[in-house]
Amino acid sequence: MSRIQSQTRAQAVGLMEWREAAELVSSRWRTYLDAERESRAFAFASYRSALDAEEAAAADMAGPALAGSGMRRG
């Protein structure tokens, strides 16, 4: 497998992982909105956790693009 093919595959995998994480955020948000009062704090914490995972997936996906552009992640 060439370097270009390897990069393209890694980008496709990164995009798939980000999309899955974004879908989880949406699902957890709906769960939070539907939660009863006594379970809302847990549902919101679960939503926040999903947001963190989505952010990490986005950063992983953007990492190679940012490295190639000369920009640095914080």
Cα–Cα distances (Å) from 73 to 38, 49, 60, 67, in that order, read: 39, 21, 10, 8
Domain regions of the chain by residue span: 3-69
pLDDT at 49: 98
pLDDT at 27: 98
pLDDT at 42: 98
Q: In order along the chain (74 residues), what is the average pLDDT of each group of 10 residues?
A: 79 92 98 98 98 95 64 50
pLDDT at 5: 78
